[in-house]
Structure formats: C-alpha cells, structure tokens
C-alpha cells in the first residue's frame, strides 16, 4: 500500500475516522462507568461482562482495521478512476481477473477468521463452563409474563422482581449462579453491565453467573419478546455488601405472623385478600395465601418498585395498581378485580404492612 499515491485529504479523512471511532468506544465506556445504573455494554462491572468487553475490543480493532483498509481502497478507486470530461473516449484496459490477487484476498481473510474464532471460542468456554466456587449463591430465576420470580433454595424463600446478590471479592469469590427457567413463554435475562443475556425457555433450563465487583443497583430488562408487556418486564439487581446481603436474607426468611397487630382497615384488607381470588395467584408465607401464579407478596414493602420495575412502590401507586393493573401495564395478566373503593383501600392498607 503506497501512501504516497493518496492525496493528503483522503489520508486525513481516514485518520480522523479511525480516531473518532476509538474515541467513541472509550467515551461510551467512561460515560457508563459514571453511573452504576448504566446499561452500557462497554461499562462492565462483573467478570462475564469483563470477558466479553475484552473480546469485543479486540473484535472491534480487527474489524476497524479491515474497515479502514477496504473503505480507503473503495474511496480511492471511486475518486481516482472516475471519468473526467476531457477523457480519451476509448474503453479502458479490459482486465478479466488475477489469480494471485484472488489467492491473497482469500488467504488473508481465512487467517483473520481463524484468529477471531479462536479468541471467541476461548471466551465462550471461560464464561459458559465456569466452575462454582464454595461461596456461590444460588438463585433460581423463573420468568413469567411479565415479571421475575426469584427463589433462593439455600435460604428457603421466594421473592419477586428485585434480585439481591452480594458483592463478589476477587480474593474470596462469592458469585451468584442463576438457574433460568420459564413458566410460560421465552424470556431473556439481560443486565448488560453484569453479563451477556441468557434466555429463559420452558422445558429447557439454562444457567448463567455474575460476580459484581461493586455494590449498587444494576438495571436491565427482558430481552426476548414474550408478549404484550415484554417492554415493561424490567430487571433490578441490588448488589449488596456481604453484611447488607445477610440482613436482607434474614428479613426475607421471616414469615408473616398471624398475631401481628394490624389496624382495623388492614385487618379488613387481609380478610378481603384471603377470601377473594387474590390467594389464587399470590403467596404470603405464614398465611393461607399460597398462589404461585403471581409474585410472592410476603415482603412486598421491602421492594422499591412494583409491577417489575415499572413504578415506585408508594401507597398511591400500590392502590392504583390493585384497583386497575392495566393503568400501569395494559396486557398484564393481573386482572382488575372490580373491588369497591373501600375494598381497595383496605387491601392496600393490608399490603402496606408486608415488610
């Protein structure tokens, strides 16, 4: 490649392009690192995402070089060989091909493919076939239309929509292994800064793992179209310090006590809850409610959001949700139970006691 035969203008264009691209990638990485609720794949915060990030930079570099070269050649040919007004009217030299060129531009891509393949295969194996160290937290994630169920078999409780995991210290790793299952259609678990996405497919359990490096709230959402409210099946993963995580686990393990004093309104709300269809879908451990169709409500008020991340968990929103779920999530499988206003107040009051 003889650079001298290019015009300085084309060369400057090319260098600017390459530089802009590298800068853009780093900018994305930095802007992501600012806020821990970022969903930028170039701001990894866990080993699987790190491994992917490393590979992706390599792939970007290789494709970037290919782009620069081929783009440059195309641009050069398009400009240099255009017909000029005072051109010789005869046809140009008719060239039919060149075996050496064909060989060269076959062999080089083959080599590039081999390199890219091997680096990819290495990362596939490292992420998918990772072993579980002793301090592993196990969570069973069950995808539903349109919410997330989390079971902690090691601790014996079930929760919904807000995942809690401990920070993993590289010296004493405590990663979380997620077993992914589905109760209905296909879903996909995607929190970009923690790991690549893995699907939840009925009758086809999958597994993934994360080992977050820093505490905070990590966001994502379902990434496989699962029906009307696929867009609002949001993910919230709270990465806690080990102490916070233990506290959270202990709180979740408590069941609701029958003899907990409740206000008259809340008491009436519990009666309504237990005697209508609520118990068919929802579970509150320690009570007669044992439905598994909808989210477990035992510690509803320990969650910051409701409806799988759609809206903050305030009394007003909770009331509105109970009255008419379609106001927040039309197509959600929770029907409006057509309760009277009084009943809605009562049920809400009861739910507000579920800490």
Partner 1 sequence: MASDSISLPGSIGLPRDAGSTWLETLHEWVITVDHKKLGLMYIGSALIFLVIGGIEAAIMRIQLAVAHGQFVSPEVFNRMFTMHGTTMIFFVAMTVLFGFGIYLVPLMIGTRDMAFPRLNAWGFWMTLFAALLFYFSFVGGDGLSGAGGAPDVGWWAYAPLTSPAFSRGHSTDYWTIALLVAGFGTVATAVNLVATIVTMRCPGMTLGKMPLLAWMYLVMSGMLLFTITPLTAAQLMLMVDRYLGGHFFDTQAGGSAVIWMHFFWIFGHPEVYVLIIPAFAFISEIVPVFSRKPIFGYPIMVAATVAIGFVSMSVWAHHMYTVGMASYSSAFFVLTTMAVGIPTGIKIFNWLGTMWGGKIHYDVPMMFALGFLFQFLIAGLTGIMLSSAPFDWQLGGSYFVVAHFHYVIVGGILFSLFGAFYYWYPKMTGRMLNETLGKWHFWLFLIGFHVTFDVMHIPGILGMPRRIYTYEPGRGWEQWNLIVSIGAVIQTVAILFFVVNMIWSYFRGRPAGKDPWDAWTLEWAVSSPPPVYNFAVLPEVMSRRPLWDIKHPEDPDWKYE
Enumerate residues 259-278 that contact partner 1 by CB under 8 A: none
Q: Is 142 in the site for partner 1 (CB under 8 A)?
A: no
| Contact status, residue 173 vs residue 153, Cβ threshold 8 Å | no
Q: Within 218-309, where are the H helices? A: 242-253, 264-275, 278-281
Q: Is 105 in the site for partner 1 (CB under 8 A)?
A: yes
* CB-based contacts of 70-74 (< 8 A; 24+ apart in sequence): 71/14, 71/17, 72/6, 72/10, 72/14
Q: Is 217 in the site for partner 1 (CB under 8 A)?
A: no
Structure token digits, residue 295: 């989210």
Enumerate residues 218-247 that contact partner 1 by CB under 8 A: 219-232, 234
Of positions 45, 51, 158, 237, contacts partner 1 by CB under 8 A? 51
**End-to-end C-alpha distance for the chain, whole angstroms:** 70
Closest CA to 196 of 282, 264, 128: 128
| Contact status, residue 297 vs residue 283, Cβ threshold 8 Å | yes
Enumerate residues 160-199 that contact partner 1 by CB under 8 A: 180, 184-186, 188, 190, 192, 195-199
- Beta carbon nearer to partner 1, 83 or 134: 83
Of positions 128, 241, 255, 314, contacts partner 1 by CB under 8 A? 128
- DSSP code per residue over 172-231: S---EEEEEEESSS-EEE--TTT---EEEBTTB-EEEEE-BSS-EEEEEE--S--STTGG
Q: Is 68 in the site for partner 1 (CB under 8 A)?
A: no
- Beta carbon nearer to partner 1, 232 or 282: 232
290 forms beta bridges with: 283
Of positions 5, 8, 94, 100, contacts partner 1 by CB under 8 A? 94
The whole-angstrom separation of Cα 233 and Cα 189 is: 10
Q: Is 13 in the site for partner 1 (CB under 8 A)?
A: no
Q: Is 39 in the site for partner 1 (CB under 8 A)?
A: yes
* Residue keyed to tokens 């320990």: 302
Q: Is 216 in the site for partner 1 (CB under 8 A)?
A: no
Binding mask 282-321 for partner 1 (x = CB under 8 A): ----------------------------------------
Q: Is 60 in the site for partner 1 (CB under 8 A)?
A: yes
- Beta carbon nearer to partner 1, 126 or 251: 126
The whole-angstrom separation of Cα 320 and Cα 10 is: 61
Q: Is 7 in the site for partner 1 (CB under 8 A)?
A: no
Q: Is 27 in the site for partner 1 (CB under 8 A)?
A: no
Q: Is 81 in the site for partner 1 (CB under 8 A)?
A: yes
Q: Is 336 in the site for partner 1 (CB under 8 A)?
A: no
């Amino acid at each position: 490649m003889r650079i001298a035969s290019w015009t300085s203008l084309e060369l400057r264009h090319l260098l600017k392009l390459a530089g802009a691209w590298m800068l853009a990638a780093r900018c994305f990485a930095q802007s992501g690192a600012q806020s821990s609720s970022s969903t930028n794949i170039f701001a990894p915060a866990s080993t699987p995402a790190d491994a992917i990030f490393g590979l992706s930079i390599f792939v970007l570099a290789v494709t970037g070089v290919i782009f620069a070269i081929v783009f440059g050649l195309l641009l050069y040919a398009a400009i240099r060989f255009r017909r000029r007004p005072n051109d010789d009217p005869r046809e140009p030299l008719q060239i039919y091909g060149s075996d050496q060129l064909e060989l060269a531009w076959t062999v080089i891509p083959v080599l590039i493919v081999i390199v890219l393949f091997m680096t990819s295969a290495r990362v596939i194996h490292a992420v998918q076939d990772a072993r579980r160290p002793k301090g592993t937290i196990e969570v069973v994630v069950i995808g539903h239309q349109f919410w997330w169920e989390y079971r902690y078999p090691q601790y014996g409780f079930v929760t919904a929509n807000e995942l809690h995991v401990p920070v993993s210290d590289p010296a004493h790793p405590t990663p979380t292994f997620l077993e992914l299952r589905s109760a209905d259609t296909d879903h996909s678990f995607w929190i970009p800064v923690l790991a690549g996405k893995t699907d939840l497919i009925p009758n086809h359990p999958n597994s993934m793992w994360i080992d977050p490096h820093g505490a905070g709230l990590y966001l994502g959402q379902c990434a496989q179209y699962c029906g009307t409210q696929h867009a609002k099946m949001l993910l919230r993963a709270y990465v806690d310090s080990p102490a916070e995580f233990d506290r959270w686990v202990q709180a979740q393990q408590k069941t609701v006590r029958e003899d907990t004093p409740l206000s008259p309104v809340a008491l009436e709300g519990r009666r309504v809850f237990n005697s209508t269809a609520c118990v068919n879908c929802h579970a509150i451990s320690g009570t007669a409610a044992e439905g598994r169709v909808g989210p477990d409500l035992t510690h509803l008020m320990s969650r910051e959001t409701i409806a799988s991340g759609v809206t903050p968990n305030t009394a007003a929103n909770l009331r509105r949700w109970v009255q008419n779920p379609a106001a927040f999530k039309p197509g959600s499988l929770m029907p409006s139970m057509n309760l009277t206003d009084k009943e809605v107040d009562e049920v809400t009051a009861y739910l507000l006691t579920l800490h």
